[in-house]
Amino acid sequence: MKYIQIANTDLKASNIVMGNMRLKELSLKDAETLIRTAMDEGVNFFDHADIYGAGTCEEIFADAIQMNASIREKMILQSKCGIRAKENYYDFSKEHILKSVDGILKRLKTDYLDILLLHRPDPLMEPAEVAEAFEELRSSGKVNYFGVSNFNPTQIELLKKYVPQKLVVNQLQFSIAHTPMIDSGIALNMQMDQSINRDSSILEYCRLHDMTIQAWSPFQHGFFKGVFLGDTDNFPELNEVINTLAKKYEVTATAIATAWITRHPANIQVVTGTTKPSRLQDACKGSEIPLTREEWYQIYKAAGNMVP
Ligand SMILES: NC(=O)c1ccc[n+]([C@@H]2O[C@H](COP(=O)([O-])OP(=O)(O)OC[C@H]3O[C@@H](n4cnc5c(N)ncnc54)[C@H](OP(=O)(O)O)[C@@H]3O)[C@@H](O)[C@H]2O)c1
C-alpha cells in the first residue's frame, strides 16, 4: 500500500480510501469484516458524510468496529456536511455546520474528525460565516483539518479569502469513464465536446495549491449510471484493454481501474465504495501498479477519448 503525505497536515494516508456511502447495505457483522479487511490491507483512511444513509452509515461504521480509543488512533476519519438531503438543498450556515459536526462525532463515537469537508458548494455561502464555524471547530478540537468537495478553483479562492486554515482536500468525481478533469487540458481550444472546460482546471489548481484530490465513484460512469467494469455493451474497448493489462500484471480489472488513477502524478486518493471485502482487496492491489505512460494513455483512449 502506498501512503501519501496530505500536504499541510501531519497525516500520512493510504492512497486507497474506504468510502462508506453504501455501508447501510450491510449487516454489522459484514460491515466489520469489510472494515477489518481494509485495515489489514493497509487502508487507514475512511470517508464518511452526514447524509450517507441519513447518518446510519456513520453509526454502522462505529458500531461494527466497536469504536474505542485504540482503534480510533489507527484511523484517519473524514466526514462531510453542508447538504440537507431531506429538504434537498445546501446549507453552509454556521449553525448548520456546527450542528452537523456534533451529529457526526456522536454517530462515529469519536471526539474529533481528522478532516471535515464541505460536501457541495452552496451558492448562498457566506464565507465569513464558514470561517467562524471552522474557527470554533478547530479551537474546540472537534476538527483538525478542513477541505472541500466538488468545488471549483474560484469557489475555493472565495473561501480562502476568509478561512485562515489551509484547505487540504478536494474530493471530486473521477474515474476512467469520467475524466473531465483531464479532457479539456488535452484537447485545448478544439471544436469538440472534450475541449469543454467544465471545472476551471481544478486538477491543475489543486496541484498548484497543494490540495490532495480524492476520486469519488472510481468505478462508475455518469452520475451513478453504473459500473463500467464488465459493461461490454457500453465500454467494449475499454474492458478489453483493462482485461489485457489485468492479465499482464496478474491482478483483476478492478486493480487496473484503480491503478489508472493512482498512476497520476497528483497522488490522487481513490475512494472506493465497494461492499465486498474481496473487491476492496482487488482495489488495494491497484495502489502501486506502475502502469507505463503508454498503458495509461491506452486506457484513456479506450474509454473513448481522443489524444489529438
Ligand atoms: N463527495 C461526493 O460528492 C461523493 C459522491 C459519491 C460518493 N462519494 C464517496 O465515494 C465513495 C465511493 O463511491 P461509489 O460507491 O459510488 O464508488 P464505486 O467504488 O465506483 O462504486 C461502488 C459500487 O460499484 C459496485 N461495483 C464496483 N465494482 C464492480 C464490478 N466490477 N462489478 C459490479 N459492481 C461493481 C459496487 O458493488 P459491490 O458493493 O457489490 O462491490 C458498489 O455498488 C463513497 O462511499 C463515498 O465515500 C463522494
pLDDT (tens digit, 9 = 90+) per residue, 270-289? 999 999 999 999 999 999 99
Pocket test for ligand 1, best of 217, 231, 280, 282 (most atoms within 8 A of CB): 217
Residue 201 is classified by DSSP as S
Q: Is the CB of 22 under 6 A from ligand 1?
A: yes
Which pTM does this prediction carry? 0.98
Question: In the chain, pLDDT over 70 holds for what percent of residues?
Answer: 100
Measured distance CA(28)–CA(19) in Å, rounded: 16
- Quick check: CB of 121 below 6 Å from ligand 1? no
- 12-169 against 174-201+214-308: fold identical: yes
- 12-169, superfamily in CATH? NADP-dependent oxidoreductase domain (3.20.20.100)
pLDDT at site 159: 98
H/E element holding 161? helix 153-162
Q: What is the pLDDT of residues 241-260, one digit of tens each?
A: 999 999 999 999 999 999 99
Assess whether the C-beta atom of 45 lies below 6 angstroms from ligand 1: no
Distance 273 CA to ligand 1 centre (A): 3
Residue 66 burial by Cβ neighbours in a 10 Å radius (0-12, 13-18, 19+): exposed
Nearest CA, atom 36, ligand 1: 274
User: How many whole angstroms separate alpha carbon 39 and alpha carbon 60?
Assistant: 16
**Ligand 1 touching residue 221 (CB < 6 A):** no
Read off the pLDDT of residues 58-106 as tens digits, 9 standing for 90 and up: 999 999 999 999 999 999 999 999 999 999 999 999 999 999 999 999 9
For 7-42, the pLDDT digits (tens) are: 999 999 999 999 999 999 999 999 999 999 999 999
For residue 270, give the amino acid letter. V
C-alpha 49 to ligand 1 mean position (Å): 14
CA–centroid distance, 286 to ligand 1, in Å, is 16
Ligand 1 atom with least separation from CA of 254: 31
**Average pLDDT of every residue of the chain:** 98
Residue minimizing CA distance to atom 5 of ligand 1: 216
Positions marked active-site:
52
CA distances in angstroms from 282 to 146, 193, 229, 254, listed in the order given = 30, 33, 13, 6
Residue 94, pLDDT score: 98
Q: Does ligand 1 have an atom closer than 6 angstroms to the CB of 39?
A: no
For ligand 1, whether the C-beta of 171 sits within 6 Å is: yes
Most distant CA atoms of the chain, gap in Å: 56
Minimum CA distance residue for ligand 1 atom 45 = 19
CATH of 174-201+214-308, one of 3.20.20.450, 3.40.50.300, 3.20.20.100, 2.40.170.20: 3.20.20.100
Domain ranges of the chain: 12-169, 174-201+214-308
Atom from ligand 1 closest to the CA of residue 224: 16
What is the pLDDT, as a whole number, of residue 264?
98
